[in-house]
Amino acid sequence: MNPPVRLAEEVRAALAAGGPVVALETSVVAQGLPPPHNLEAARRCAAAVRAAGAVPAAVAVVAGAVVVGADDAALERLADPARRPAKASPRDLAALCAAGRDAGTTVAATAAVAALAGIRVFATGGIGGVHRLAPGEPAAGAADVSADLAELARAPVCVVSAGPKAILDLAATAEALETLGVPVLGWRTSELPAFYSDGSGIALEHRVEDAAAAARVLRLHWDALGRREGVLLAVPPPEAVPREVVEAAIAAALEDARGRGIRGKAVTPFLLEAVSRATRGRARTANLALLERNASVAGEVAVALAAAAR
C-alpha cells in the first residue's frame, strides 16, 4: 500500500530543518472560486507565504494521494471544472484516496492533514461554522454545522482566516468555538471579522499586535499548557465590503438556495457566488484580497513560531 500522505521535497526539507511552513487549503481552487480566479488565488497565496519567508504547502488529493505541497500542475487539475474534482472533508479522505480521485481540501481536511504532517500554521479565507436558517425554515430542524469546528477542536494548528464565512450564523459560530475550547485571537482587532466585512459586532477577548505575540500564545497553548485544540487567528479583510450590503445579498441568496433545494456541501459555493453577483464583484475582489492577506500573516506567524522554537 502506498503512503497515504505525500510531502513535496521542499516541504519535507523545511519541516526536517524546523523551518517555517504554511499549509494552504484547495477547496477554494476546486469549488470556492470560478476560473480563472481560483488558480490566481492559489498562486497569490503561495507567493504571499514565500514573501513572508515561509514555505507554502498546498494540501490536496491528487490521483488518490494526499499531497502536502501540491505543485502548479496539480492545482491546474483542481482548477479545471471539467475534471469535476471532489470536495474533501476529513471523513472523505480515505474513500477518495481508495477511488483514485482528485479533490480540493476543506478547512477541516487541511487542518487534519497539516497536523498529521507536523505543520502548525494554516491560511484560508474563512472558516465554516453554524449555518443560518433560511427564511421560513423551522428552528427545530437539525442545524447544519461545518466539520471545520470539530477539526479545530482537535487539530493543533493555527488557522489564519478572516473569521467565519459571512454566510454563517456568526454569533452561533463564535459560541461553538468557545464551547469547543478553541482560542480566538484578533489580529490587531478586538472584534471578530465577518469575512467580507471588518466587523461583526462580536467582541473578542484576546488580540495580538504582531507575529511574535501570536507565536508566544501558540507556544504557551500547545507546549506549556499541553492543549490540543487549534487556534483561530482572525484577520480583518484589507478590502472590506460594508456589512449591510453583504447582509442584504446573503438574505436573498439564502432564500434562493432554499427554493432550489440546495443543501450540504453545495450551499457554501452557491451562496458565495450569489453574493459576488449581488455585489457586482466587490465580494469576490474582497475574497481574493483577504486570501492573500491571510497567507501573508500566516507566513509571518510561521516564521516567528519557527524562530521561537530554536
Beta-bridge partner residues of 187? 208
CA 269 vs. chain centroid, Å, equals 14
Grid cell 475550547 in the structure block, residue: 181
CA gap 120, 117 in Å, rounded: 9
191 among known catalytic residues: no
Please say whether the beta carbons of 122 and 25 come within 8 A. yes
CA 242 vs. chain centroid, Å, equals 22
Q: Exposed e or buried b for every residue in 123-146, given b needs 16+ CB within 10 A?
A: bbbbbbbbbbebeeeeeeeeebbb
Grid cell 487567528 in the structure block, residue: 233
Of 25, 229, 292, 300, the catalytic one is: 25
Please say whether the beta carbons of 107 and 115 come within 8 A. no
Of 165, 229, 292, 300, the catalytic one is: 165
165 among known catalytic residues: yes
Name residues whose C-beta falls within 8 Å of residue 197's C-beta, 6 or more positions apart in sequence. Answer: 166, 237, 240, 241, 242, 243, 246
Inter-CA distances, 179 with 109, 137, 153, 172, 304, Å: 21, 25, 10, 10, 29
Contacts 24+ apart (CB under 8 A), 244-253: 245/279, 245/282, 246/166, 246/194, 246/196, 246/197, 246/275, 246/279, 246/283, 248/278, 249/274, 249/275, 249/278, 249/279, 249/283, 250/132, 250/166, 250/167, 250/275, 251/135, 252/278, 253/167, 253/278
What positions carry a catalytic annotation? Answer: 25, 165
